[in-house]
Amino acid sequence: MRSRFAFRPAHALVVLLACALAGCGGGGGGSSKDELVIGEYGSMTGGDADFGQSTKRGVDLAMDDLVAQKQGKVGGLPVRVVAEDDQGKPEEAATAVQKLINQDRVIAVIGEVASSRSLAGGPICQTAGVPMISPSSTNPRVTEIGNYIFRMCFIDPFQGTVMAKFAAQNKHLKRVAILKDVKNDYSVGLTQFFTDAFTKMGGQIVALQAYSAGDQDFRAQLTAIKAKNPEAIYVPGYYGDVGLIARQARELGLAQPILGGDGWESDQLITIGGKALEGSFYSNHFAADNPDPKLQEFLGKHKKKYGMEPNAIVGLAYDAANVLFLSLDKLSQQDPPAFKALGSSQAGGADRKAALDKLRAIIAGTSNYPGVTGIITLDDHRNATKSAVVLEIKDGKKVYNTTINP
């Protein structure tokens, strides 16, 4: 007699079929109820954990609004966000995006902050045909990955020109030194773009020194820079290293202003750098002291929930999530079957692919979206054209200095 538990191919087939119909295949982690699943990846831990944590606060605030205004739904379907920590490592970023797409079956991805990690996660979204919106990666190569990759911010050829203009025209500087992070695509790119613009304006780069993220001792590079007696030092790196660099520069008697880019933007910048950063300037996506009512309302919401002022990354992530919700809402109105396919755990193959491409086209058409970080219009290369602000560090605070338009 055959055992009750004997393997029977016919039974296995029934189970498999039932599973396929219920949508429990395709990686196994997806739930079977109809909903819009959105992925988010970022450095929740690691050397620049403030980037990932800030992004999460921005997306969470956008979700809070959605819950308050529409019971957490878009086009009648509940939205669920799955957030992954990539520990600030490009390899982990790739793994995180793979997991979001294959296991969670997300219909869009928000992230990353750091360009090097968007460059690692982006190709996976592009190949899978899942739209990715980087709130804040500024290196031009990020959206060059392909037509599924978008960003909510300006790009570094502009950002580099902004600080070159500020140095040459606002501060009348002629001789600047640069200290770049060689392992960071953002830092390497910005160094090039600043150099190109500054030299075109008649300035000179009198020293170019390098470090790697996480270094603790910058004295050799700073001593070499000091020997060239520059009028300012441009440090296009991330906040943790910049804070240390500023302190060691002052210890070595370098009193020049330090200039930087949006990678400085973190609440921890001044905690780490302290007084050493006084009189320094950096380019950024918004100034918290801008009286714009939409921005002030957003700052108020963040302060109420988290007890502190948000940085620009939070604002960009909030805008990214809202642009995505708006695009999904448009899809639900323009093409209900496609929208349904995105929300359905059962839709696979061609239906899902076509629906994702429709979503992609709607995101690409984003025009005049009134974000908290400015008006967002995506150009043909899926980049936002926006103005930049220059902030000064004064009495331990970030103070608006000027706006530079594209």
Q: Which of 113, 164, 328, 384 binds ligand PHE (CB under 6 A)?
A: 113
Contacting ligand PHE within 114-133 (CB under 6 A):
114-115
Give phi and psi for 266, each to the nearest 5: -165, 150
Instruction: Give the nearest distance from C-beta 283 to ligand PHE in angstroms.
Output: 10
**Dist. CA 70–CA 52, nearest whole Å:** 26
Q: How far is the CB of 51 from ligand PHE (least distance, A)?
A: 6
Among residues 83 and 331, whose Cβ is nearest to ligand PHE?
83
137 is a contact residue toward ligand PHE (CB under 6 A)? yes
Task: Give CA–CA dist 143/151, Å, rounded.
Answer: 7
Asked if residues 190 and 181 have their Cβ atoms less than 8 Å apart, the reply is: no
> By Cβ distance, which residue is nearest to ligand PHE?
186
C-beta atoms surrounding 147 within 10 Å? 15
CA distance 257 to 378: 34
Cβ nearer to ligand PHE, comparing 284 with 366: 284
Q: Least distance in Å: CB of 189 to ligand PHE? A: 8
Q: Of the two residues 138 and 256, which places its CB atom closer to ligand PHE in the complex? A: 138
Of 194-202, 260-268, 336-344, 374-382: span binding ligand PHE (CB under 6 A): 260-268
**Strand 232-234 to 281-284 pairing:** unpaired
User: Three-state SS for 63?
Assistant: helix
Q: Could you tell me the two tokens for 159?
A: 């950002």
- In whole angstroms, the minimum distance from the beta carbon of 50 to ligand PHE comes to 9
- In angstroms, give the least distance from the CB of 233 to ligand PHE: 19
In the numeric block, the tokens 């509940």 are attached to 78
**Contacting residue, 42, 111, 237, 263, with ligand PHE by CB under 6 A:** 263
Cis previous bond, 278, omega within 30: no
* Interacting residues with ligand PHE between 138 and 197 (CB under 6 A): 138-139, 186
Instruction: CB nearer to ligand PHE: give 139 or 221.
Output: 139
Q: Which of 254, 262, 328, 374 forms a contact with ligand PHE (CB under 6 A)?
A: 262
- Residues 210/180, Cβ–Cβ less than 8 Å: yes
**Binding track over 294-323 against ligand PHE, x by CB under 6 A:** ------------------xx----------
Tell me the number of residues near ligand PHE by CB under 6 A: 14
Local structure of 389: helix, strand or coil:
strand
In the complex with ligand PHE, the residue whose CB is nearer, 142 or 222, is 142
Q: Which is nearer to ligand PHE, 115 or 248 (CB)?
A: 115
Q: Give the pairing type, strands 175-181 and 204-211.
A: parallel
250 or 386: CB nearest ligand PHE: 386
d(CA 316, CA 107): 20
CA–CA separation, 95 vs 6, rounded Å? 38
| CB closer to ligand PHE out of 58 and 131 | 58
Least distance to ligand PHE from the beta carbon of 358, Å?
Answer: 29
- Token digits for 240? 């943790």
C-alpha 46 chain-centroid distance: 16
What CA–CA distance (Å, rounded) separates 236 from 360? 32
The gap between the terminal CA atoms of the chain, to the nearest Å, is: 81
Point out which residues bind ligand PHE (CB under 6 A).
Answer: 51, 113-115, 136-139, 186, 262-263, 265, 312-313
